[in-house]
Amino acid sequence: MAVRLNPYLSFQDTAKDAMTFYQSVFGGELTMSSFGEFQVSEDPAEQDKIMHGMLVADNGLVLMGADTPNSMELGANGTLSLSGEDESVLRGYWEKLIAGGVVAMPLEQAPWGDFFGQCKDKFGVDWMVNITATPAG
């Protein structure tokens, strides 16, 4: 059986909006459960917060995320990296991720030959996109 690394993002109060946005970027099926559905928190302010969200894209990408309970400190989001050879798909992701976000490094040809860019999406999550160069010949 294969081992997979599935990114899990932490949000304070925006997991529902963020995960819905990522579904608009990557497509696929999104499932979300709230703290209230499982009666995990007695805090009325947390009942609609997302306890667990999972997006499974048609191409096999899996992205998970949740809101952080008020009793816990929000951790750093980290950086997510998308890479591969399918230029049209990766450029499409890039265009959607930068909408409302900030481009730190434009998606341009890098010294190593690939196309590479970095951005922060509108939810404050950092992304790197690397499009593998097609070998000459």
- The overall longest dimension of the chain from CA atoms, in Å, is 63
Closest C-alpha among 23, 129, 121 to residue 81: 129
Residue pLDDT, tens place only, 16-61: 999 999 999 999 999 999 988 877 777 888 899 999 999 999 999 9
What's this model's pTM, rounded to 2 decimal places? Answer: 0.80
Question: Rounded mean pLDDT of 114-126?
Answer: 93
Residue 4's CB: how many other CB atoms inside 10 A?
Answer: 7
Q: For the domain 79-131, what is the CATH superfamily, name and number?
A: 2,3-Dihydroxybiphenyl 1,2-Dioxygenase, domain 1 (3.10.180.10)
Question: Rounded mean pLDDT of 111-119?
Answer: 92
Which pLDDT score is estimated for 39?
78
From residue 45, alpha-carbon distances to 23, 31, 36, 41, 42 in Å are 25, 21, 10, 9, 9
Whether residue 103 has pLDDT greater than 90? yes
